[in-house]
Amino acid sequence: MTFNIQVTLGIAMTQSVVVQVGQCGNQIGCRFWDLALREYAQFNKSALYDDAVGTFFRNVDSSDGTHLAGGGRIQLLKARAVLVDMEEGVVSEILQGPLRDVFHSTQLLTDVSGAGNNWAVGHMTYGSIYRDKIVDKLRKAAEQCDCLQSFFLLNSMGGGTGSGLGTKVLSLLKDEFPGVCRIVTPVYPSIEDDVIISPYNSILAMRELTENADCVLPVENQALIDILNKITHTCHGQQSRSIPKGDVLVPRKDGLTGSERPFDAMNNIVAKMLLDITSSARFGGTLNMDLNEIPMNLVPFPGLHYLVPSLSPLYSDVSGPARSLDQMFTDVFSKGHQLLKVDLMHSRHLACALMLRGNVHVSDLRRNIDRMKPRLPFVSWKQEGWKTSLCSVPPVGLSQSLLALSNTCAIKSTFVELRERFTKLYKKKAHLHHYLQVDGMEASLFSEAITSLNSLIDEYQHLDSATFLPDPPRLNIAQ
């Protein structure tokens, strides 16, 4: 099987900047950059700096660090990224690991004390102290782009730095770059989360996501854990195979196998999702999808921009039976393949994007959409709410893959559960003093945050349950 890897044909050169905030955000980012380099090494054998590589990387002179124009050979790649954490541990690990040459010190911002799992400390205290430095780093990253298309923000919802400072960064992005798409991948805590006050942090962060993001791709820790358990069960007794290796594009150690951290396997799944989202904007294909087309086509109403991501296959470096295209379409609408578990089959969809990679024909795509239509309820006024893309370059280790992004009313169940956990604490005013003693934090922010969440839930509920009348008949005119 051959793949079309003429990555520069028909694609305008655009760039994206990844902003990693907090421990979780930086750990996901670490896996993203590792997998991105593997992908380019696999499909860029000539090691030329083209538009695809330029989406996430700059090519610099290895001797003096000056930027090199496109079209030449790769010397040293630098990630288009800003790394922020109020505890320096994870960032220090990155700088001492195999990705150390991918980042420059000017891209990093760290402190030593951390936000103490407190949204107010991250958002108010550190957001005020480091505001100018964060804006400066974001501006420098933007200035190094010829055509900046999007910011990807990676953060967690349960901790202090990820939820608090992460959403502060999001508001700064909206203020400083109002015309640039802001795509957020937040990791929601599971019910068994060991941070007792994570419901407070999550609810306060939710309001910021609703008001300041263009698209939110929510990921849940428990869903990732269940996916890994499923992989382990499926592959029990089988020997895993590693991701196919190629010559990496920057001088570094080959992979992280043998020294992976506990969360690397979970973060790999999120990283793969991010690569799949941007694949059509980086590589050639029959149907290309610009990143700006995602909010344009999938977000019909302001604030209702939470898109449930689903993947098939789940993992590229685990041996197992190959998935047929029809099986992959069935997979992505099942809970076992969702990065946030909701019931897609029994709630109305506002829109759905299907992003295919590999040697797939448009006819196969249309056939499977027709097959799934009777099983997926859409709102009556948008029965054809499908957005599709076909990228000819598959992920490393796979011949085909499918990513679905569902704007579905089913996500309200996640928000209702989060509201219930919040209410159990808030009605007792438990732990509130830790927040209210932070300069700039007011009790009204809690009530405003829960009001925002209630409105979001009500909007999804209304769309899910409303009965829409058909268009009135037209007057028949006699001939």
Q: What is the pLDDT of residue 195?
A: 85
CA distances in angstroms from 382 to 139, 300, 387, 412, 468, listed in the order given: 39, 10, 12, 19, 11
pLDDT in tens, 222-255: 999 999 888 877 665 454 444 333 344 443 333 3
How wide is the angle at C-alpha 119 spanned by C-alphas 115 and 125, nearest 5°? Answer: 60
- Residue pair 316/231 in contact by the 8 Å Cβ criterion: no
Mapped onto helix, strand or coil, the DSSP state of residue 266 is helix
CA distances in angstroms from 423 to 357, 418, 447, listed in the order given: 43, 9, 11
Q: What is the pLDDT of residue 367?
A: 95
Structural tokens at position 29: 């980012």
d(CA 257, CA 243): 10
Least confident stretch, 122-126, 308-312, 337-341, 381-385: 381-385
CA distances in angstroms from 181 to 55, 144, 145, listed in the order given: 15, 17, 14
Q: What is the pLDDT of residue 142?
A: 97
Residue 403 DSSP code: E
pLDDT in tens, 180-193: 999 999 999 988 87
pLDDT in tens, 289-339: 989 999 999 999 999 999 999 999 987 655 556 789 999 999 999 999 999
Q: What are phi and psi of 199, to 5 degrees?
A: -60, -35
d(CA 372, CA 378): 11
Least confident stretch, 12-21, 76-85, 124-133: 12-21
d(CA 116, CA 160): 6
Mean pLDDT (the chain) is 88
Q: What is the pLDDT of residue 62?
A: 84
pTM above 0.95, yes or no: no
Whether the pLDDT of residue 198 is over 50: the answer is yes
Whether the pLDDT of residue 388 is over 50: the answer is yes
Q: What is the pLDDT of residue 251?
A: 37
Q: What is the pLDDT of residue 339?
A: 97
Better pLDDT: 299 or 476: 299
Whether the pLDDT of residue 144 is over 80: the answer is yes
Q: What is the pLDDT of residue 79?
A: 97
Q: What is the mean pLDDT of residues 406-425?
A: 96
Q: What is the pLDDT of residue 183?
A: 98
pLDDT in tens, 419-449: 999 999 999 999 999 999 999 999 999 999 9
Least confident stretch, 261-265, 298-302, 392-396, 475-479: 475-479
Q: Are strands 215-216 and 308-312 parallel, antiparallel or unpaired?
A: unpaired
Task: Label residue 85 by pLDDT band (50, 70, 90).
Answer: very high
Q: What are phi and psi of 354, to 5 degrees?
A: -120, 115
Better pLDDT: 97 or 258: 97
Task: Label residue 5 by pLDDT band (50, 70, 90).
Answer: very low
pLDDT in tens, 202-221: 999 999 999 999 999 999 99
Q: Mapped to the 3 state alphabet, what secondary structure does 426-451 carry?
A: HCCCCCHHHHHCCCCCCCHHHHHHHH
Q: What is the mean pLDDT of residues 258-264?
A: 62
DSSP codes joined into one string, 228-259: HHHHHHHTTTS---PPPP---SSS--S--TTS
